[in-house]
Amino acid sequence: MIQLLVINDETLTTGQGIHCGADFEISVADSPLAAFNSIIHINPDAIVMHTGNGFDHVQVLRRIRNMQASKYTPVLVIAADEAVAVLGERTADENTNYKLGPVSIEEICHWATDRLNVSDESGQKEVLVIDDDPVVLDLTRLYLGAKYKVTTISRSVDVLEKLSTYKPDLILLDIAMPEIDGKELFKMIKEIPGCENIPILFQTGMAGINTVRECVKLGAAGFVIKPIQKPVLLERVEEALCTEAKKTVYVFEEKDFIFQLINGFLKDSYEVIRGDSVLNSNNRLEEINPDVIMIDLDSSAFILNHVRGTANQLSIPIVLLTKDLDSEIVKKEKLSPNTAFVQMPLNKEPVREAVTVMAQKKASIAR
């Protein structure tokens, strides 16, 4: 359901209805104070504001953009004066539109569905929310309902049966579930045929670094901290549903020209990130959880022992670059699992082949 807030309109009343093929719940505010209170309490998906009657829409719009809950919310300003409409459309930010009134409720709802990218129900992505807290379930359904088809389950024991026949596009999973712990439930879901590649976001009230590390190690698509904030939730869900995300290669290379060469070989298929200081490397690896680590043994061999433990914990394969494939260190590293070698000077095909094989290995380990 789309939450629509209408400000300074004497013709509308609060209520629900179907417009442009979508469910709307319309709230009406007759003053700036009422509007700001509504934004805080209902967190609308879209806002419509009428000018005229001495209403200072510029100040109200500025306040709306300064509120965290509505900073990026689509706003339609219906101007009583043509000059206001023309000037507003020229100067408005990307989340604000101006139209010359009068504008019908059907036109308003068409604008809202268009700005929110809401399709008919058959084309919506499906999100399954698993949480034992009914308030969280209601909030999540409210926040996501305008754009996604939301299904909720409050008991972890019902999840496996549901997923045997139902395959959502995304799962939001509470960590602190009774009966079956969220982390254990995550592993069980990934073993269900057809659910292996469904992205799972953890919802948690525990934001400690150990919790984050556990989420990363399990292979979660991310996490959302409670209490849930609508803009953050929408952003995390959108990121997790992005199927075109590139795999990540984390490169330890001191020489700029070699790093640029590697980046040139890989950038069309991979996101290439350059490793920073030794002290920060393990924290960065845990945060990013790359698909492959690449290390130049000839210039950065010292980093290998430093990151090996973290790489093993997160099951990240390593590609080692070296001029001498017969060196003692290479002979030793050939005994290490999930390690590949590329001889320098570098050529595109050997680099891409080694990275592709190792990235596939990481994916197979995760499954």
**What six digits make up the tokens of 178?**
């009774």
Q: Are residues 70 and 172 in the same domain?
A: no
Q: Are residues 66 and 152 in the same domain?
A: no
Q: Are residues 108 and 163 in the same domain?
A: no
Q: Are residues 111 and 76 in the same domain?
A: yes
Q: Are residues 229 and 273 in the same domain?
A: no
CATH number for the domain that contains residue 343: 3.40.50.2300
Q: Residue 45's domain spans which residues? A: 2-115
Q: Which pLDDT belongs to residue 244?
A: 47
132's CB contacts (< 8 A; 6+ apart) are 154, 155, 156, 174, 177, 178
* C-alpha to C-alpha distance for 4 and 25, rounded to whole angstroms: 6
Residues in a beta bridge with 78? 50, 99
* C-alpha to C-alpha distance for 281 and 279, rounded to whole angstroms: 6
H or E stretch covering 284: helix 278-288
Last residue of a domain, one of 241, 257, 278: 241
pTM above 0.75, yes or no: no
CA distances from 330 to 14, 112, 326 (A): 72, 60, 6
Q: Are residues 259 and 162 in the same domain?
A: no
Q: Are residues 53 and 26 in the same domain?
A: yes
Last residue of a domain, one of 199, 218, 241: 241
Q: Are residues 92 and 156 in the same domain?
A: no
Closest CA to 171 of 146, 142, 205, 148: 148
Q: Which pLDDT belongs to residue 226?
A: 84
Last residue of a domain, one of 75, 92, 115: 115
Q: Which pLDDT belongs to residue 124?
A: 75
Q: Are residues 206 and 251 in the same domain?
A: no
Q: Are residues 318 and 298 in the same domain?
A: yes
Q: Which pLDDT belongs to residue 285?
A: 84
In terms of Cβ atoms closer than 10 Å to its own Cβ (0-12, 13-18, 19+), residue 154 is: middle
Q: Are residues 311 and 347 in the same domain?
A: yes
Q: Where are the strands (E) in 56-163, listed by range?
A: 75-79, 96-100, 126-130, 149-153
pLDDT tens for the 367 residues of the chain, in order: 788 999 998 888 878 777 666 778 899 998 999 999 988 888 888 999 999 888 899 999 999 998 877 888 899 999 999 999 899 888 888 889 999 999 988 899 889 888 887 655 545 789 999 999 999 998 898 888 878 889 999 998 899 999 988 999 999 999 888 889 888 999 999 999 888 889 999 888 765 556 666 776 777 888 888 888 888 888 888 878 875 456 899 999 888 889 999 999 988 778 899 887 666 777 778 878 889 999 998 887 788 888 888 888 888 999 999 999 988 888 888 888 789 999 999 998 899 889 988 887 776 665 5
Q: Are residues 254 and 361 in the same domain?
A: yes
Number of domains in the chain: 3
